[in-house]
Structure 1
Amino acid sequence: MVTSATAATGHAPAVRASAGLYAWYVALLLAAAHLVSFIDRFLMSLVMEPLKADLALSDTQLGLLQGTGFVILYTVAAVPLGLMADRVNRRNLILAGILLWSVATGLCGLADSFGSLFLARVGVGFGEAALVPAAMSLLAAYFPRRQLGRAVSLFTAGASFGKSTALIGGGAVLALLTTTGGMYLAGIGHLAPWQATFMVMAVPGLVLAALLLTLREPPRVESAVARPGVAVAAAYIRKHYKAYLTHSGASAIVVLLIQSFAAWTPSFYVRFFDMTPPQAGLAVGSVILVSGPLGHLCGGALTDFFQDRGSRAPAAPVIILGVLAAVPCVLLFGTTRNLPLSLLAFGLMSFAMTFAAPASLAGLQMLTPDRLRGVVTSMFLATTTFVGIGMGPPLIGFLTDHYFNGPQGLDRALMVTVIVCAVLGTILALASRRPFARAAAASQATGDSS
């Protein structure tokens, strides 16, 4: 928080020992934006089975809709939008993104083929690319370093609430629309229940856009006046490439696990427990509603705990704990056919995976000076999103279609993916510790305001 005199002069605001109430209001509002983005991102996972039947799609095509379609423009636009986050009004950038992805979500409801649905998903990804770089830059501006993990964990917890809302709320909407046979829109015609669900669930984004007008843009710190570009950020990353490479690699593993299970778990329960899509959405969404935010908040608190205790690489142990704990959980999840036990295993696995998420984003802010956070965060997101979302859900679909005998091989595809990724994530996180410590110290020495 800064005084009006500081805003007028453009000088760096004084460092605060603790964030004020307004800073937490900003964090809450940004978490709500993250929530809405995940509603629109993961609504697809709820309707995959009726969509698969109506459009005669393979699991590979479903994976492409969940992952590749979303990331095509997301990864291309992330860096330019991150650069904008270092230069323009961040609130307005987020506002424009929300309006774009909400409209694109509605267009998913008008799709009647794989191609048209794929294009609409591209639009959703393009709009959502604006959110995280600008939001991370705002949080780093409003919160001191020692509270950043908790602020980021609140933001990332919005993702879990968004997935839950997509599955529970979207499931309720889908169930209602199924009983009425869909929806008729003047000038458009009849929409199938899964199409109408997209139209209805696009509305919350429009409401949130109005609330964002209450968010104030904080002044930049003095070091940001130079407005560095991609070349400066790339040079800084090259200087500390070991830290960025290993931390980003471990973070991409975390994203891949979270996104793959978010995409395929409702279909898992439809296929192996004879649930309807709304029933699966309610069950999975209810579990995520508790386990996901709890994992995010605990992971953020533990990251801050390590930071307060003087750890020079607080992100690595949190990531390692999360990915390794997921292994026994997925083995139980994939092998039991007892529904309560399966849901318990899924809840523990969801907690473990989301536990590692705040450390990934908070760790990146620790590595990066304030003047570069927007563009570096966007480069980080482009990479981790391409790997985690662009490759994760399609990989599961490819494995089921080509290596595990079709739809009934989904359980084996999920188990193999978690085990392999947990090993890779642990190796990368362990390798990140020393270079992370050096790069984080350099970031603080270059005038990091937090």
Structure 2
Amino acid sequence: MAGTQSIPFPGSGASSAEPAAEPVREGAWRAVAVLTLLYWFGTLDRQVAALLIPMIKADLSLTDLQISMIQGLAFGLFFMIMSPLMGWLVDRYSRRVILFCGVVGWSISATASGLVKSFGGLFAARAGVGGCEASINPTAYAMLSELFPPKKLSLPMSLFVMGGNLGSGMSFLLGGGVIAWVSTSPQMSLPWIGPLAGWQLAFVVTGLPGLLLAPLLFTIPESRRPRTAGVTAAPSGFGDLWRHYRRFPVFYLTHGLGFALIMAFVVGLQSWNATFLMRAHGWALSDIGYLLGIFQVGSALIGLAFHGWAVDRLFGRGRKDAHLAYFALMCALAFPCATAAYLIDSGMATLLLYSLAYFFIMAFASIGPAALQITTPANLRGKASAVYMVGVSIIGTILGPIVVASFTDLLFQDEKALGWSMALFAALTTGLAGALFFVGRPAMRRAIDARMSAGA
């Protein structure tokens, strides 16, 4: 391996078709800024629904089952359905155009969430948000992996994911403000639309900015993909991806399942945090929104860049399993904090311990995809990212909130036992994920060695 780059990682089995590793491309950091901003507003709308659920339920007279379908199933199911299609498109067509269409689509669907007045309409609007937001991860991961060399990839990935964390935190702050406002002014009337409840206005406000920001995508560099005429075609179908998976099954299994469990940890606990603080500690919903938002934004600003820098530093020094080894440690640190958070008799202590646990594992959405991009040939990265996001959607987005509720209703059979349900859930997800990451380390080293050997 000649050259100054530490690990060139040419495409497995297609070295002639894949470009050698190169320095950070011109415009790469501008791409990080634009993608982060879009992810910020996309997640802002997605998470605000969690805090507004009590208002939506009361205004539309919905059942708990209908609420759970809107909160998880509507978004997660259509996100999962559209992810393979997005992955297929990402490996064939302009990633800027794909993401532009996705941003416009989810912005319209998010705005529509605030204009509907029935369960069916709200379900359809949230499904539209989920389906269109399936475009953000495969496109952003693939674009960043081609703009940055492997040893410098985790930091830009972490900054990109910071947008999602900031959006999630801002959603709680916005939701808290809406709840405080609606208590004194229940409705607002808009021309041609009529009166809107506070929760409807929140959806409209968080949905519209995406339409203004989408054109920024055309200010960033387009991806470079192996399309040169006469060059042997690299793998491009899901069958080729499956054959690649079969070469390194332990890595892809432990990696995918481990990070899906961490996603379940995040979504499952975030979905029930507000309810737990109301039910167990008597906090007002508006106060919960402000405090959750402040703590989450603070954790994101402090932690994400640090985690990305730390993993890049380990990987750049030759630690080929750096991503999984680092997260095995983070899971071990998060385990006691998250478990104790829901068993302690203090709402503020709950918030502090949860925030500390969240700080440890918050970079999962950047470190996981970074490891995937590094170990997967360039021609398969879009599809691999899509498959990864399907698993994350099923286990994390869809099942996470349901499992917590099932522990409460079926295992403990007591609404007051929500804290025990959340503590058990936190322990299982962090414990199992940490064990999977530890087991998967040798497999990751083998996968990277194979990519290096292919380009020797």
* TM-score (structure 2 length as normaliser): 0.89
- Structure 1 distance, partners of 2:60, 2:406, is 18
Paired residues for 1:35-184 under 5 Å = 35-184=40-189
Q: Go from structure 1 to structure 2 and tell me whether the alpha carbon gap of 1:431 and 1:161 turns closer, same or farther (over 3 Å shift).
A: same
The amino acid across from 2:41 in the alignment is V
In the alignment, structure 1 residue 230 sits paired with structure 2 residue 238: yes
In the alignment, structure 1 residue 352 sits paired with structure 2 residue 357: no
Give 1:12 deviation, angstroms.
Answer: 6.5
Q: Go from structure 1 to structure 2 and tell me whether the alpha carbon gap of 1:20 and 1:341 turns closer, same or farther (over 3 Å shift).
A: same
- Structure 1 distance, partners of 2:30, 2:414, is 47
The amino acid across from 1:269 in the alignment is L
Give 1:185 deviation, angstroms.
Answer: 3.1
Paired residues for 1:304-315 under 5 Å = 304-315=312-323
Give 1:357 deviation, angstroms.
Answer: 3.6
Q: Matched residue pairs, number?
A: 438
- Structure 2 distance, partners of 1:109, 1:269, is 26
Give 1:61 deviation, angstroms.
Answer: 4.0
Q: Go from structure 1 to structure 2 and tell me whether the alpha carbon gap of 1:170 and 1:384 turns closer, same or farther (over 3 Å shift).
A: same
Give 1:29 deviation, angstroms.
Answer: 1.2
- Structure 1 distance, partners of 2:182, 2:58, is 17
Alignment-derived partner of residue 399 in structure 2? 391
**Range with greater deviation from structure 2 (317-326 or 81-90):** 317-326
Give the SS at the match of 1:251: helix
The amino acid across from 1:376 in the alignment is A
The amino acid across from 2:111 in the alignment is G
Give 1:304 deviation, angstroms.
Answer: 1.2
Q: Go from structure 1 to structure 2 and tell me whether the alpha carbon gap of 1:161 and 1:265 turns closer, same or farther (over 3 Å shift).
A: same
1:277-322 C-alpha deviation (Å, 9 max, x unpaired) = 3321110010000113433223222221221221221122222122
1:179-238 C-alpha deviation (Å, 9 max, x unpaired) = 221222344432221122111211221222132232231322457964612121122112
Alignment-derived partner of residue 420 in structure 1? 428
Alignment-derived partner of residue 220 in structure 1? 225
**Range with greater deviation from structure 2 (67-76 or 249-258):** 67-76
In the alignment, structure 1 residue 16 sits paired with structure 2 residue 31: no
1:42-64 C-alpha deviation (Å, 9 max, x unpaired) = 11111012223334445554333
Q: Go from structure 1 to structure 2 and tell me whether the alpha carbon gap of 1:165 and 1:178 turns closer, same or farther (over 3 Å shift).
A: same
2:290 to 277, 282, 292: 282
8 A contact 1:59–1:398 mirrored in 2: no
Alignment-derived partner of residue 32 in structure 2? 27
8 A contact 2:48–2:174 mirrored in 1: no
- Structure 1 distance, partners of 2:408, 2:212, is 39
1:320 to 328, 340, 352: 328
The amino acid across from 1:75 in the alignment is M
Unaligned runs of 5+ in 1: 1-10
8 A contact 2:78–2:128 mirrored in 1: yes
8 A contact 2:343–2:423 mirrored in 1: no
The amino acid across from 1:436 in the alignment is M
CA RMSD of aligned residues (A): 2.4
Give 1:95 deviation, angstroms.
Answer: 1.0
The amino acid across from 2:356 in the alignment is L
**Range with greater deviation from structure 2 (139-148 or 54-63):** 54-63
8 A contact 1:46–1:278 mirrored in 2: no
In the alignment, structure 1 residue 370 sits paired with structure 2 residue 378: yes
Percent identity over the alignment is: 29
**Range with greater deviation from structure 2 (183-192 or 23-32):** 183-192
- Structure 2 distance, partners of 1:444, 1:142, is 19
Give the SS at the match of 2:153: helix
- Structure 1 distance, partners of 2:125, 2:66, is 15
Larger proportion of helix: 1
The amino acid across from 1:380 in the alignment is Y
Give 1:260 deviation, angstroms.
Answer: 1.5
Give 1:21 deviation, angstroms.
Answer: 6.2
Q: Go from structure 1 to structure 2 and tell me whether the alpha carbon gap of 1:70 and 1:21 turns closer, same or farther (over 3 Å shift).
A: same
**Range with greater deviation from structure 2 (315-324 or 278-287):** 315-324
Give 1:276 deviation, angstroms.
Answer: 3.1
- Structure 2 distance, partners of 1:409, 1:363, is 38
Give the SS at the match of 1:216: coil
Q: Go from structure 1 to structure 2 and tell me whether the alpha carbon gap of 1:396 and 1:61 turns closer, same or farther (over 3 Å shift).
A: farther
8 A contact 1:254–1:357 mirrored in 2: no
- Structure 2 distance, partners of 1:289, 1:356, is 16
Give the SS at the match of 1:184: strand
Unaligned runs of 5+ in 2: 1-16
2:445 to 437, 445, 449: 437
- Structure 1 distance, partners of 2:178, 2:85, is 36
* TM-score (structure 1 length as normaliser): 0.90
Give 1:73 deviation, angstroms.
Answer: 1.6
Alignment-derived partner of residue 206 in structure 2? 201
Alignment-derived partner of residue 4 in structure 1? none
In the alignment, structure 1 residue 246 sits paired with structure 2 residue 254: yes
